[in-house]
Amino acid sequence: MSTKSGKPKNLTKEEESLLQDYSRDLSTKSSALFYGNAAIISAVPIWLYWKIHQMEPANNYIYFLLVTVVTTYLISFAYKNVKFVLKHKIFQNLDNVVQDEKDKKNDDRSLKKKNEIAEFEATTYSIFYNNSLFLFILMVASFILFKNFTPLFNYFLSMGLSAGLLALFSTSK
């Protein structure tokens, strides 16, 4: 019961664990995984623009750095959203596959196991799906849509469009 001053009551460990499972918030490990992967996939196009569009890193490192930081944020945002939606779907589909003789008597352990599997599969699939979509949109934008732009504008527009669309699509269910 909340007091008259409006302070919330302290949550039990089970309630906190339940909230964590059903919220969009990520654990430190998940955050690190998402930001790390997002940084890698944001940095990969630098090779493309250096070797194929002839943008020398020595002259353009500031732009590369700036765009990589912004796209890392947008891609990790997309990872988080897609993972959240997928996790619940996978959880429902897991059914009783993880129950064995011992776990039949222990629903909590079974639930925890299912949660871990759903978390793992949703995370890996989210990374795979978003990385593939990002690279696909980038190829189309860079070599078809913005083909005749100068390399620098091509880089800004292609990366911005790809990461932006990724973040936008991830907000849908």
Give residues in contact with other proteins (CB under 8 A).
Answer: 37, 40-41, 44, 47-48, 51-54, 56, 94-98, 117, 120-121, 124-125, 127-128, 131-132, 135, 151
Instruction: Confirm if 140 and 119 have CB atoms less than 8 A apart.
Output: no
Round to whole Å and give the CA distance between 161 and 163. 6
User: 98 or 145, CB closer to other proteins?
Assistant: 98
The distance of closest approach from Cβ of residue 135 to other proteins in the complex, given in angstroms and rounded to an integer, is 6
Which ranges in the chain belong to alpha helices (H)? 13-22, 28-51, 57-94, 107-140, 151-170
User: 2 or 54, CB closer to other proteins?
Assistant: 54
The distance of closest approach from Cβ of residue 8 to other proteins in the complex, given in angstroms and rounded to an integer, is 37
The distance of closest approach from Cβ of residue 2 to other proteins in the complex, given in angstroms and rounded to an integer, is 42
Pull the structure tokens for residue 17.
Answer: 């664990």
User: 16 or 109, CB closer to other proteins?
Assistant: 109
Residue 52: φ, ψ to 5°: -100, -45
The distance of closest approach from Cβ of residue 48 to other proteins in the complex, given in angstroms and rounded to an integer, is 6
- SS3 for 87? helix
